[in-house]
Amino acid sequence: MTLLDEDVAAKPSGVSDPKAGRPRRRGRAALLTAVLTAALVVLALVSAGHGAYEIPLRGVLDSLLHRVGLGGAPLDRVAESVLWNVRLPRVVLALLVGASLGCAGALMQGVFGNPLAEPGVIGISAGAAVGAVCSIAFGLHFLGNWTVTACAFVAGLLTVTLVYVLARADGRSEVVTLILTGIAVNAFAGALIGLFVFYADNAQITQITFWQLGSLAQATWPKVLAVLPCALVGLLAAPCYARRIDLLALGERPARHLGVEVERLRLTVILIVALLTAAAVAVAGIISFVGLLVPHVLRMAAGPGHRFLIPGSALGGALVLVAADLAARTVAAPAELPLGVLTALFGSPFFFWLLRGTRRKQGGWA
């Protein structure tokens, strides 16, 4: 029985109180939150110091403490420049992008009631890719270095708006229609990208390919500041809808009887997902499997309640992307692996293992 059942169902006679298991689940969620937070802090510090130019962990800590006025000591000129102008922007951007994708995945799976749902299923990632590829292929520079990022962000938001409008009928939208519309829009976006690539020159094709594969190599503080407002708004707003998403898991009709405005909830969550995903894709390219896998793993560890699952997925997504980015720039040094390729390379077998384990445990999908 889920947390929803405990909240809305009457206790049958002869059955032990389902609320008795709440403290244990809450304790597990609190422990997982503490572990994820501690692991994220440690990994971020290690990532900030590790690379072609090694900076000791103690040096990273001293420099951070010195900058915030809590003691410590500055590093030498080269180390300070590498840490603050190269490493830390990249680590912070990985935190924001990973948290955005993880949180968006948890929201999508909750509001769609589909364990295979993730931000790309309604065309946000593909739409953002079309905007970026179009700006590269046509050599647009109306916003200078920000042109590709701005085009990707606007195109992602326009795409999800188009999907929602096309899927809406008689004043409401259905999950199946949204997913099918998203599939069609993804296919059309893929065709547009192929068309733009066909007309692009070799230099543009190289840029398009690297952007489509995902990377944080061009992380800067301005890019961090560009994605920060969208990420903060989305990450702070998402937990406010946790209980309503839990109630939606009972089904649309029971949720309506319990006071949930299903259509408004779905639209609001889709807008939050669009904000988080479009901003992440605009600065980092397409990075797959983070929004799909992280909520699955946390759901297996702590149950389906979204009160923990939404913020937990943000922490988990940030942890996964910081780790993946560290691996991407160190495994094949001095070359750098595309981040999206690395997450898909490890995410696909792991997700397949999860699917087989779940199917075997449940005796099938029926």
| Of 195, 199, 123, the residue nearest 162 (C-alpha) | 123
**pLDDT computed for residue 359 by the predictor:** 63
In a domain, 13, yes or no: no
In a domain, 366, yes or no: no
In a domain, 365, yes or no: no
| Model confidence at 4: pLDDT above 60 | no
Q: How many whole angstroms separate alpha carbon 208 and alpha carbon 204?
A: 6
In a domain, 151, yes or no: yes
Average pLDDT over residues 120-132: 85
Answer with the residue of higher pLDDT: 306 or 209. Answer: 306
**pLDDT computed for residue 292 by the predictor:** 87
Spatial neighbors of 317 by CB under 8 A, at least 6 apart, are: 98, 99, 100, 101, 102, 103, 105, 290, 291, 294
Q: How many whole angstroms separate alpha carbon 279 and alpha carbon 284?
A: 9
Q: Whole-number mean pLDDT of the chain?
A: 84
| Of 19, 41, 27, the residue nearest 92 (C-alpha) | 41
Spatial neighbors of 272 by CB under 8 A, at least 6 apart, are: 104, 107, 234, 237, 238, 241
**pLDDT computed for residue 21 by the predictor:** 53
In a domain, 81, yes or no: yes
Q: Are 315 and 99 in contact (CB under 8 A)?
A: yes
- Residue 22's pLDDT band (boundaries 50, 70, 90)? low
Q: pLDDT per residue over 197-251, tens digit each?
A: 888 888 888 888 877 888 898 899 998 998 899 899 999 999 999 999 999 888 8
| Model confidence at 14: pLDDT above 50 | no
Give the CATH number, domain containing residue 114.
Answer: 1.10.3470.10
**pLDDT computed for residue 26 by the predictor:** 75
In a domain, 105, yes or no: yes
In a domain, 336, yes or no: yes
Q: How many whole angstroms separate alpha carbon 363 and alpha carbon 366?
A: 8
Q: How many whole angstroms separate alpha carbon 179 and alpha carbon 273?
A: 14
Q: How many whole angstroms separate alpha carbon 199 and alpha carbon 185?
A: 21
| Model confidence at 11: pLDDT above 70 | no
Q: pLDDT per residue over 137-157, tens digit each?
A: 888 888 887 888 888 888 888
**pLDDT computed for residue 356 by the predictor:** 74
In a domain, 344, yes or no: yes
Which structural domain range is residue 81 located in?
3-8+21-357
**pLDDT computed for residue 361 by the predictor:** 62
- Residue 6's pLDDT band (boundaries 50, 70, 90)? very low
Phi, psi of 173 (to 5 degrees): -125, 150
- Residue 100's pLDDT band (boundaries 50, 70, 90)? very high
Average pLDDT over residues 268-288: 89
**pLDDT computed for residue 360 by the predictor:** 66
Q: How many domains does the chain have?
A: 1
